[in-house]
Structure 1
Amino acid sequence: MVKSNHERWHQTKAVIGRMIRQLKSTLVHSAVQIGGKTPAPNSCDMIRSGELSKYPLAILDKLLTVYGKDGACAYDIGCAFTKTLGNSSLGPRARQLGFRLMVGAFHGHAHNRKCQLDWHPVYIMGTGHSEGEGCEHIFSASNALARGTRHASTFHWHQTIEQHFTFWNDDKYAALSNFLWNHHREALKLVQILTAELTAIKAELNIVDEDFPHYLQEELAYLDSLKQPPARDQICICYVEALDELAEQRTDWDSARQAANNALTGIAASSLEKINQALAQAHICHTEALVAHVEIQLAVEARWEIGGPEYNQFKMEARLGKYRTALNELEHLVVM
C-alpha cells in the first residue's frame, strides 16, 4: 500500500518527537547521576545541547572542591577557556587556590608554537611526564559502545554505559597496585637517566638550570615580535617566484614558437598555432612587467640568475614556508 505524503509526514513527525523526548530524558537522567554513585560522576551526555561552557565549569568546580590548592587540569582549549574561567564566579576561588589550566600534549599540536610555550605540559612545573590526555584513553576504551547503543532505548543505553564503566573501574582498581609500582619504578629510572644526561649536556654547553627559563622567555619575546617575516624577505620570495614563472613561460613561448614554425600550411592549424603563440607572448609580457616592478622595489641592479646564491637562499625560504604551512594544516587535521 502506497502511503500519501501527508501520512508519511505525520509518521516522521511522530518519530522525531520520540527521538527528542528520548534525548531530553537522556540529558536529565545523566544530570541526575552527576555526583551520584556512577563510575564517572563528573560526566553527562551532551547530545542535545552540545559542548557548552557550563559543563567544564561544573567539572572544575568539583575539582577545586575535591583537590584544593595547586591543582591543574588539561583541556583541549585550556588556553582560551582560562578567560572564561576567570570571568566566571569560580574565577576568584581558582586564583586563590593557584589552579592552572593547560592544553594536552595531543591537542597542543593543533595550537601555534607560542601557545604551546605557555600551555603545553612539558613547560609547566609540576606536571611531570603527564601528557594531559587521560580522557582520550577513556574515550578510546568506550568507543566500542557506539554500535550497540546507537538505536537502543534510553534504559538500555544507560544500562550499557553504566555496565561498561563499572567493569572498567573494577579492572583499573584491580590493576592499581601494579600500575603504581611500575610507574614509580619507571619514574625513578627516568630521573636517574635523564639527570645524568642533563648534567653532561649542561657541562658541554656551559649552562646552568637558571638558563632554561631564560631561553623560553627569549623564544616568547621573539615570537611576539615576529608577527610576519620582514617586508624585504617577503618581496624577495615573490621575486624568486616571479623568476620561476618567467622561466616557465619562456619555455612555453619557445615551444609555441617552434610549433608555429613547424605548422602545416592548413588555415585552421596555422591559426590555432598563432593564437597559442600570441597567448604565450602576452603571458611573458605580463610576467616581465611583474619582475621589473619587483626589481625596482628591491633596487636590484642585475637580475638574479636561477641557481645563484641569492636565488637559492630565498627559494629555500619559499619552500620552507610552504612546508610549514602544510605541516601545520596536517597536524591540525590529525588532532581535530
Structure 2
Amino acid sequence: MVGAFHGHAHNRHCQLDWHPMYIDGTGHTEGKGCEHVFVSSNELAQSTRHASAFHQHQTIEEHFAFWDDDKYAALTLTSIETLTAELSILKDTLGLTNVDLIQFHSQERLYLDNLKEPPLKEILHIHYVQVLCELAEQRSEWDLAHEAANQVLTTIAASDLSQILAALSQARICIDSGYAKLQNTEALTAHMEIQLGIEECWEIGGDTYNQYEQEASQHQYRTALDDLEWLVVMHLFKLSKLSLSGMGVHLTFHLLVWRY
C-alpha cells in the first residue's frame, strides 16, 4: 500500500517525492523505499515466532534471497526493451527529450510549492453565484405559496367553517415562512454585493455569472472526487485488515455483508 497509494494517503506533492515511478534505482533503497522490504518481511513473524535461533536466521535469509530473485525476474530484459521502445515512440511523436521529462517533474513540484488558496474575492464571487441561485429558488417558492394562498378556498365548501379556518391558517403559515426566507436571502445578497462592490445584481445566465458558476461546479466536482478517492482507499485498507484483498468484487461484497 505504501507505493501505489502513497500519494493518495498523503498528497500529490508527497507522491512526487516518494512514488517509485519518480525514484531511480539508487534512491529507491533509501527512506520510504525500505518500507516495501519491511512490509514483506512482517509475515515472517508468525512462522518464526516459536522457532529456534538457527531456523529464524535460515528463514529470514531465504526470504530475502527469494525477494531479490523475484525483483530481478520482474526486471527482465524483454520488459526493459519493450518499455524503452514505447517511450522512444512517444518522445518522437511529441517532440520530447529526456531533459523535458525531468523538467516536467520539476515544474509540477514547483507548481505545487507555489499553489495557494484562491483569492478571497474569487471565493466570495463563487459564493455570490450560489446565493443568487438560492434567491431565485426562494422567489419561486414565494410565488407558488402566494398563488396557492389565493386559491386555497376554491375547493372548500362555503358552509364548512372549520375547514376554511384551517386552510387559511395553513396558507398564512406558508406565506409567512416563504416571505421570511426570501427576506433573509435578499439581505444576504445585498450584503455580498456591498462587500464585492457590485452596483447591479448579476443576471442569471450572463457571462460573469456563467464564469463563476462553472468554477463553483468544478470546485464541487473536485471535492466529490477527493471524497470518492478517500473512500476507495479506506475500503482497500479495510479489505487488507480483513484479509479479503485480491478477491473478486462479488465474493468480497458477500463476505462483508455476512461479517457485518
User: What letter matches 1:301 in structure 2?
Assistant: E
CA contact (8 A) 1:304 1:311 kept: yes
Indicate which of 232, 238, 243 corresponds to 1:334: 232
Deviation of 1:157 after TM superposition, in Å, equals 11
Helix, strand or coil for the counterpart of 1:125?
coil
Q: Is the 8 A contact 1:117 1:220 kept in 2?
A: yes
The letter for the 2-side match of 1:277 is I
Q: Is the 8 A contact 1:122 1:128 kept in 2?
A: no
TM-score with structure 2 setting the length? 0.66
Q: Deviations over 1:224-253 (max 9, x none)?
A: 333211212101110011011111111111
Aligned partner of 2:257 in structure 1 is: none
Q: How far apart, in 2, do the equivalents of 1:108 and 1:223 lie?
A: 13
AA in 2 matched with 1:270: L
Q: Within the alignment, does 1:271 sit opposite 2:160 as a pair?
A: no
Return the TM-score normalized by structure 1.
0.53
What residue identity is the alignment partner of 2:202?
Answer: W
Matched, 1:289 2:187: yes
Of 14, 22, 46, the match for 1:115: 14
Does the alignment pair 1:237 with 2:126? yes
How many aligned residue pairs are there?
A: 215
Cα distance change, pair 316–126 in 1 and its aligned pair in 2 (3 A): farther
Specify the alignment match of 1:3 in structure 2. Answer: none
Q: Report the secondary structure of 1:190's partner residue.
A: helix
User: Residue 146 of structure 1 aligns with which residue?
Assistant: none
Conservation of the 8 A alpha-carbon contact between 1:110 and 1:331 = no
What 5-or-longer segments of structure 2 have no aligned partner? 154-162, 235-260
Q: 2 CA distance for matches of 1:331 and 1:135?
A: 26
Unaligned runs of 5+ in 1: 1-74, 77-103, 143-148, 150-155
Matched, 1:312 2:210: yes
Letter in 2 for 1:125: D
Partner of 1:109, secondary structure, is: helix
Q: Distance in 1 between matches of 2:84 and 2:26?
A: 14
Corresponding letter in the other structure for 2:140:
T
Contact 2:131–2:189 (CA under 8 A) maintained in structure 1: yes
* Identical positions, percent: 45
One-letter amino acid of the structure 1 residue matched with residue 102 of structure 2 = P
Which of structures 1 and 2 has the larger relative contact order (alpha carbons within 8 angstroms, sep 6+)?
2
The superposition leaves residues 93-148 of structure 1 with CA deviations (integer Å, 9 ceiling, x where unpaired) of xxxxxxxxxxx12232232222222222222233899xx79579969xx8xxxxxx
What are the residue-to-residue correspondences of 1:42-81 with 2, within 5 Å? 76=2
Q: Who is 1:227 aligned against?
A: 116
Distance 1:305 1:249, change over 3 A: same
- Give the corresponding residue for 2:240: none
Equivalents in 2 of 1:190, 1:281: separation in Å?
67
CA distance in 1, matches of 2:38, 2:49: 20
Query: Structure 1 157/230 Cα, relative in aligned 2: closer, same or farther at 3 Å?
Result: same
8 Å CA contact 1:249–1:283 kept in 2: the answer is yes
Residues 297 and 328 of structure 1, relative CA distance in 2, 3 Å threshold: same
2:195 is aligned with what amino acid? Q
- Which stretch of structure 1 is more off in the superposition, 279-288 or 301-310? 301-310
Give the secondary-structure state (helix, strand or coil) at the position aligned to 1:263: coil
- 1:62 equivalent in structure 2: none
